[in-house]
Chain A
Amino acid sequence: MSEGGLAIPTQNSATVRPNNDVQSVNRNEVDPILTRLKRILRKFRKDELATVVATSAVFKIAEVDINRQPIDKEALIKGLISVLEDVSEMQRIVPLLELLYIRLHSNMRTWHVLQVRNMEEQQENVTPEYFQKLLSDYLNRSKYEVNVTCQLYEEGLWTRISFTEPVRKRSQMVVFKESTSFLLYYPWTPYVLYCDLKVAHQELVQRAILQTLRGTKVKKLPLTGHKISALIQLAWQKDNCRFEENEGLPYVIKKELKKRKPKEFVENSNIVNEHEHEYRKQEDYVEKQFGIYEQPSLENILYSIKTSFYGLDASEKNELDDHQVVCTVNFKGQSVLEGIRELVCQGIADRDLPDYVGNLSHLGVNKVTIKEDK
């Protein structure tokens, strides 16, 4: 399987073949697959469908040239479906399309992070086929019917797992229910990200990952977010010291790393900056505390706090003497860590921030519990 795209190398689909074979197949088999295929194709934007066509060998259509003239999205989807020969081809293409969609829209999902400890060997030789086979073998030993598809893209193994299980309805009819989840594993790191994984399947998948990567323990980190590179960077920084750009960083972190632009001091002999010394001291502190690179983008940080109440003097606290105040604080934004840095620059936050606020990028969490012993 090649890197990127939807490569199905066995088929020569340069010519458009009539889809008569589809009509002769059992309608009960075709309809659900066709519905699913249409649903996933409709999710893509029109310009993304162009990517699907351009990168896929199956959808290479001779008749429909999307660049030549403007074409309706529905007509384009119909044209794409008409190229497919039979049910088996549809069944093969749907997982790949779903993987492509998740890759293009990874920011729309909430990703969770697992850490695999003490992996036996280096994972440079983990290929998509190897990963897919081992995961599939382990998961199919369970009560579910599992389908695993894996692709390599920019050094990451994007994996789709679908679980099918029978569900008995009230009318005694048995219906097969399918749920899909996605994994992302970068072979240079001990971290596996997942999204859309049901609680009932979590333990099974964790054991499958442990078995596949040959680790001793898998731990779910209290770290969730939408941006994959930020999550990997936060988890990485927890286990590694401050890094420089070229010190063996995974590709996913390296490509997102941005150096902050230094602020320009415009020196004018007519203007005397009375607080220049204080200002430069502040800038030096901020650079030392937060580094020269932009902080990873975390959209949400949640603190759960249970401590004594510090808002009143001892003489004013009557009922609060033995009581621990329970509160939660939620920071929200496009990049909360960078926002906290800005608060320090503007003087709204103190310079000596506690570790769980100022040094959060090295703790590898976005859910923090602060408890005070009584």
Chain B
Amino acid sequence: MKQRNFDSTPQVRSEFLPVSSRARSYRHTPYSKTPRVRNLTGRAEETIESTEQAASNLKGLVNKTWRIYKVSPLFQFDYSPSSLRLYSRLLKAQLEAKETQGYGVMVGSSNSIKTCFSVYEGLTSLKGDSEAVEIKIQVASKTGGEKEVFCGILCCVEGSEDALDLLADSKSFTQLPVLLTKGQVSFTYKVLDFIQTKFDCVATPLVFTPLELGWMISMWAGILNEERPNRSVQLVYSVPLKQLQSITYNIKQESAHKIWNCIHDQSSDEMNVEEVTAFLGSLERHFHTIFGIDLAHLCLKEIATPPAAAHTSGKLKIFSTAMIHKILRHITCLSQEALQRS
């Protein structure tokens, strides 16, 4: 098995990796590690008050399918209005250059593409968090007017204290480990290309393992969604057969809540891995008793809970505005763990 030598990596990147990963050799194994305990409520620090714009922004995140990328710290990212305008112009120039590639240089700039970098209010709940940044691309549509072809949000919601402490030594880096994207795939790749080139970072798709999906369903299955009382808890298992593709297992919200209460200690703000195993195990045992089919042998591909749904390919859909911070906090945590592992 090939081992990657960390001494050969660029000096600037190796300084900011956590100590433990620098010492650890990189191995490709099918087994992944998981924390023993996760916090359900978040850090009890002073929170920032939200504005009207922030509330409106939060509504814009709900009921849309986002594809998630994990992003390493951005080098020399500046929040000043002039810098954000500069980034918009540079991104526009890059998109136009790619469009006209092979056709020669066009005289005068094209007005068909509009790009915008702006601060996205509402996602930072703690004072230590970097502010979220929104990237939008609009093109002129055939019927007149403008059509949005890409929307991306770089954010960090209650990021890990270890990672933030490391960056505290250098003011040149900005921690925004989560990129939510929605739009045309071609523009997504171009934006990722731009971010990686301009800010000397690495942006890769964040995929959820079945274990991480198990954590999500265990943490969120017991939460009742008053906005959508009919939404059930759903587990989709993929079957490795040509004839049978998937088994979808839906449990009514109220029933899932009661099962969760039997397993999880209500007085605790934390959820441990034993509770996750017990919750999933109980659902699978119930299925096995009724159908005689052992779901533990199949792969969990997709989950849906009252506040959110997630797919193993890195897609996320949030249904509840009240739960946005908790869900994105968990995604930030997963993103930082994945970055530390790689």
Asked whether A286 is an interface residue with its Cβ less than 8 Å from the other chain, the reply is no
* Cross-chain contact B244 with A343 (CB below 8 angstroms): yes
Asked whether B290 is an interface residue with its Cβ less than 8 Å from the other chain, the reply is yes
* Bound Cα distance A305, B252 (Å): 11
A 2-39 to B, binary, CB cutoff 8 A, 1 in contact else 0: 00000000000000000000000000000000000000
Say yes or no: A329-B245 contact (C-beta < 8 A), given A307-B290, A316-B262, A320-B258.
no
For residue A343, which residues in chain B have a CB less than 8 angstroms away from its CB? Answer: 239, 241, 244, 293
Question: Nearest chain A CB to B254's CB is how many angstroms away?
Answer: 8
* Cross-chain contact A349 with B293 (CB below 8 angstroms): yes
Q: Which residue of the partner chain, among B249, B262, B289, B291, contacts A319 with CB atoms under 8 Å?
A: B262
B 274-294 to A, binary, CB cutoff 8 A, 1 in contact else 0: 000000011111110111111
Asked whether A312 is an interface residue with its Cβ less than 8 Å from the other chain, the reply is yes
For residue A310, which residue of chain B has the nearest CB?
Answer: B289
**Residues 223-256 of B at the A interface (beta carbon under 8 Å):** 232, 239, 241-252, 254-255
* Cross-chain contact B286 with A325 (CB below 8 angstroms): yes
* Cross-chain contact B258 with A305 (CB below 8 angstroms): no
Q: Which residue of the partner chain, among B247, B258, B283, B286, contacts A331 with CB atoms under 8 Å?
A: B247
- Of the candidate stretches A41-49, A103-111, A163-171, A350-358, the one touching chain B is A350-358
Question: Nearest chain B CB to A331's CB is how many angstroms away?
Answer: 6
For residue B294, which residue of chain A has the nearest CB?
Answer: A348
Residue from A325, A335, A336, A350 with most neighbouring chain B CB atoms (10 Å): A325
For residue B258, which residue of chain A has the nearest CB?
Answer: A319
For residue B261, which residues in chain A have a CB less than 8 angstroms away from its CB? Answer: 318-319
Asked whether B298 is an interface residue with its Cβ less than 8 Å from the other chain, the reply is yes
* Cross-chain contact A370 with B244 (CB below 8 angstroms): no
* Bound Cα distance A38, B294 (Å): 53
* Cross-chain contact A326 with B243 (CB below 8 angstroms): no
Say yes or no: A310-B290 contact (C-beta < 8 A), given A319-B262, A333-B244.
yes
Asked whether B297 is an interface residue with its Cβ less than 8 Å from the other chain, the reply is yes
* Bound Cα distance A107, B18 (Å): 57
Q: Which residue of the partner chain, among A310, A328, A333, contacts B239 with CB atoms under 8 Å?
A: A333
For residue B251, which residues in chain A have a CB less than 8 angstroms away from its CB? Answer: 325-327
* Bound Cα distance A311, B293 (Å): 14
For residue A354, which residue of chain B has the nearest CB?
Answer: B292
Asked whether A86 is an interface residue with its Cβ less than 8 Å from the other chain, the reply is no
* Cross-chain contact A333 with B258 (CB below 8 angstroms): no
Asked whether A285 is an interface residue with its Cβ less than 8 Å from the other chain, the reply is no
* Cross-chain contact B246 with A333 (CB below 8 angstroms): yes
* Cross-chain contact A309 with B245 (CB below 8 angstroms): no
Question: Nearest chain A CB to B238's CB is how many angstroms away?
Answer: 10
Asked whether B168 is an interface residue with its Cβ less than 8 Å from the other chain, the reply is no
Question: Nearest chain A CB to B193's CB is how many angstroms away?
Answer: 37
* Cross-chain contact A311 with B281 (CB below 8 angstroms): yes
* Bound Cα distance A350, B283 (Å): 17
For residue A303, which residues in chain B have a CB less than 8 angstroms away from its CB? Answer: 291
Q: Which residue of the partner chain, among B259, B281, B284, contacts A309 with CB atoms under 8 Å?
A: B259
Q: List 28 A-B contacts (CB under 8 A).
A: A305-B290, A309-B255, A310-B285, A311-B281, A326-B251, A326-B252, A326-B255, A327-B232, A327-B251, A327-B252, A329-B250, A329-B287, A329-B291, A331-B244, A332-B246, A333-B239, A333-B244, A335-B244, A336-B243, A340-B293, A342-B243, A343-B239, A349-B291, A349-B292, A350-B292, A350-B293, A354-B290, A357-B292
User: 10 closest A-B pairs (Cβ-Cβ)?
Assistant: A339-B244, A311-B282, A311-B286, A339-B243, A333-B244, A310-B289, A350-B292, A326-B252, A330-B248, A311-B285
